Amino acid sequence: MNKAGTAYILWLGCLLQLHGLHRLYNGKILTGLLWMFSFGLFGFGQVIDLLLIPNMVDEHNTKLRARQGWLPDGSLPTQPVIQRVVTVDAKPVPPQPMPNSLVVKLLKAAEARGGNLSVTQGVMETGASFAEVESTLLQMVRTGYVEITNDPKTGVVTYEFKEL
């Protein structure tokens, strides 16, 4: 993460005829080079940047956090980001309608377990295959009624039914 103090110190590089170092530091390459070759826009841009440096640093840090998958306040997201693409013979399988009987069985199994269910538990309760249970649970996640979490003790991926 960049710091405003460091950017101000680099701004002082203008005293050594090194204009625009603070802009390069904050990822503004084109304007940094422009400042460098035009003496900080003939000094005017350099002086105006005294007021703009805190925003430049914040903008750079926000972009950096976003690239790293962090929240804007610098914390990690609490929900894991899981993306799965089901493939058969290297071809993506389009989403299929959820079988209602399987959904009802999964709901009953989750209710019996306090609103949390793993794929293995779903398979044991319903008798369906792992692929069927997992794809059905993922489709339920897309509807917004189910969230994916990890069991704090075992780390197993569980599906949390918020309404149960």
Strand ranges for the chain from DSSP E:
87-88, 91-92, 116-117, 146-150, 157-161
* Residues ≥6 apart with Cβ < 8 Å to 23: 29, 31, 32, 35, 49, 56
Instruction: For the beta carbon of residue 31, count every other beta carbon within 10 angstroms.
Output: 16
Convert the pLDDT of each residue in 71-125 to its tens digit: 666 665 554 444 555 555 666 655 555 556 888 899 999 999 999 999 999 999 9
The reply to whether the predicted model has a pTM over 0.75 is no
> What is the DSSP-derived secondary structure letter of residue 94?
P
